[in-house]
Structure 1
Amino acid sequence: MTRTTTNDELDALRPIGQPLGGGDIADEDELRAIMGGRPNLGSPRATGAGASARRQVRLPEHLNTALDDYAAAHSTTPSAVIRDAVEAYLASA
């Protein structure tokens, strides 16, 4: 049996157009900026043009922990560390 949502539950929802910080969304461009997701790393960067290839790797637990610790200690992200490391590795190859 499917449960239906009550009117009280619907009334408790945050109305569309009101972000968590309050206020209204001004226009469609602002909505796209909020909902657009992560910017790409393509060319030109962060404009919605270009492509960002995605690669997945599996890391041993000790290497994954070391990566997280390094990123936190240097106020960056594990992804940025990996990008920098691959770039440095390929430049030296």
Structure 2
Amino acid sequence: MAALHFTKDNFEQEVLKSDVPVLVDFWATWCGPCQMVLPIIEELADELQGVKIGKVNVDEEMELAKQYRVMSIPTLIVFKNGEKAEMSVGAKSKEEIKAMLGV
């Protein structure tokens, strides 16, 4: 399954009310490191079971970026049971992202 696109309209339902861990990639089209992470995010979305993986375009969803204090991108946040469980700023390897998810 391809990575989901989270917006202010679906964030509560898809992320905060999710019964599985959710990895959210805060990114933008103009961000070089974000473009490096994007294929990894898509790969993990296809490969991993029991987790939800998606992205938030900070240019389109400034409210969400502000709410979660995203100052630099890419920022990866793992949500568990509706709470922010882990946060990482900057490009990460596939293994580092999997470790964040605990898989």
Q: Same fold (TM over 0.5)?
A: no
Q: Which is helix-richer, 1 or 2? A: 1
Q: Which is strand-richer, 1 or 2? A: 2
TM-score, normalised relative to structure 1: 0.23
Larger RCO (alpha carbons 8 Å, 6+ apart)? 2
